[in-house]
Copies of this chain bind each other. A is one copy, B any other.
Amino acid sequence: MRSDLRHIRYFVATAEELHFRRAAERLGIAQPALSRAIQALEADLDVALFVRTNRSVQITTAGRVFLDGAREIIALTDRTMEEARTAHDGRMGELRIGYTDFAIAGALPNLLKGFQERHARVTLKPQHGVTLTQIKRLEEGQLDLGFVTGPITRDGFDQRVVQSEAFRCVVADSHPFARRDGLQIAELAKEDFVHGSSTDWQHFYDYLLPICRRAGFAPRIRQEAFNTAGILGLVSCGMGVTVLTERVCSALAPGLVTLPLLDVDERLVTSAVWRVDHLIGPARHFVDYLQDLPPAR
């Protein structure tokens, strides 16, 4: 026999009443059942918790020690269950959010702030990851929500567009293009490019390549960096040019110039994505929050 919460609840009532019939009434059971339950608990512990006669019930020293712990166990159990329910209905718990460089440079900070103001008991856990990594982690249940590049069409996933950005060319301020107001994409054909690492930035490259192809060239990538900050650093050193999006370019360090690509209408979309079968707890509230926002421009 393993002692259960039932036994512990029966014990607390008996310890408080010190009278088996009254304790049984309080518990809504018959006195013999209570008598046997306490005996079973004592047998399991191999400890006398009460000294009883047919006239009186007294609690032992061990019983008093057990009573302190028993009250804590019950309180902790009730609290744990209540917190699980609260987490289930989304009012508390962790929300693991993945984000790309484009998301964190754009709409995401304000989204997180707005949501956090509405759900103070939810703990946001932002985790950087490129799009493909986020998708994998969503599948594995390691992320609740992702902010990724481009529309995602995948079974079991749903999404909502949260931002849409024009492409921009970034050059060093010493570059001949720096004094221009804008460029045609074809003018980059002979330039050295700086880009992200071939594994992590494959997804972004798959958006950039068709744009260049239409102008008759493939970007000649001479340098790779790990993230946008690294890319921009290499560009400002004159190692080449790059193409990023308007939000990433909106707060440039000195030494860099951003140029519109006048003949490029394509935009880079950032979407919030989630697994439909995992939309429970705080994630459900976040998606509700997103749906209530005006559409992204």
Chain A: residues with CB nearer than 8 A to chain B? Answer: 2-6, 8, 45-49, 51, 56, 58-66, 68-70, 72-73, 76-77, 79-81, 83-88, 92-95, 140-141, 144, 277-278, 280-283
Contact = CB atoms under 8 A, between A and B. Distances in A.
A58 B80 CA distance: 20
Considering residues A68, A93, A95, which has the most beta carbons from chain B within 10 angstroms of its beta carbon? Answer: A93
Contacts of A280: 48, 60-62
A69 B65 contact: no
A182 to B, nearest CB: 47
Given A4-B4, A80-B69, A85 B281 contact: no
Given A4-B5, A88-B47, A93 B66 contact: no
Contacts of A66: 80-81, 83-84, 87
Given A2-B5, A5-B2, A73-B76, A281 B87 contact: no
Contacts of A47: 84-85, 87-88
Nearest to A284: B61
Contacts of A76: 69, 72-73, 76
The list of the 4 closest CB pairs from A to B, nearest first, reads A69-B80, A58-B141, A61-B281, A62-B88
A63 B280 CA distance: 11
B51 A85 contact: no
23 contacts: A3-B5, A3-B77, A4-B4, A45-B85, A45-B88, A46-B88, A47-B88, A49-B84, A51-B277, A51-B278, A61-B87, A61-B281, A61-B283, A62-B88, A64-B87, A65-B83, A65-B87, A66-B87, A69-B76, A69-B80, A69-B84, A73-B73, A73-B76
Contacts of A62: 84-85, 87-88, 93, 280-281
